[in-house]
Amino acid sequence: LVIFILRRKTVRGNDVLILGLCNSGKTLLFTRLLVNKVVDTYISVKENKSSLTFNNHKSLNIIDIPGSDSIRLRIFDQYILFIFRAIIFLIDGSTIQKEIKNAAEYLYTVLTDNLIMSNQVPLLIACNKQDLGFAKGSTLIKSALEKELNQLRHTKSAALDGVDGKSSTSNCLGNPRKDFSFSDLKKNETQFIEISCKRINEDSSDVESVKEWISNV
């Protein structure tokens, strides 16, 4: 199942960031994209970076950003200084119910960043671990994220109002006059997709769909 929310393309750099919480499968996706092998991975303490060349000879830098709370934003802030091409935000579909607040907080930080908004960076939200029977699908994850991001938007807005006594619309996520919906993101093309980084078969369709998305942004 793939949900498309399309916007126009703009010129961007050559870096594609893989973001997400710890244990969401970022490093495994990084490895699958490069060598299409399932390998044992460990919690990263620094970013992984490598070049990926496509059939049309286009080459992009794939960068796996660690998910640890203590280091992810520091490393992310280093890369956000540069114009990059796209973001893949990985979500563990098997644990999203208990991690929804943390995932939404991280996603909120990404989506309200000045440079990401102004450069109209496209976003792929990849709902991973779909090989597990109890994993939540992209439709449920999308709905849960929208509800949580809507609540976060109200909380952040109220906090800003309390500081200066004025209503702030700077970097407002979506349409402030209605409940948050990914369809209201006017500056970032957003797509949801279901994958399993551990599932490998003859056509490797799960990871190939991610690779195809990268090649088209």
Residue 68 CB neighbours (<10 A): 15
Q: How far apart are CA 94 and CA 24, in angstroms?
A: 9
pLDDT score for 106: 94
Q: How far apart are CA 185 and CA 204, in angstroms?
A: 31
Per-domain boundaries in the chain: 2-216
Q: What is the pTM of this model?
A: 0.85
Q: Which of 74, 31, 91 is nearest to 211 (CA)?
A: 31
Question: In order along the chain (217 residues), what is the average pLDDT of each group of 10 residues?
Answer: 50 85 93 80 76 86 86 71 86 96 95 88 96 95 98 83 50 87 90 88 71 91
pLDDT score for 90: 97
pLDDT score for 75: 74
Q: Which tokens go with 54?
A: 């496509």
For domain 2-216, which architecture applies?
3-Layer(aba) Sandwich (3.40)
Listing from the earlier edge strand, what are the strands of the sheet with 123-128? 2-5, 190-194, 123-128, 86-92, 15-20, 59-64, 48-53
pLDDT score for 198: 84
Is the CB of residue 178 less than 8 Å from the CB of residue 184? yes
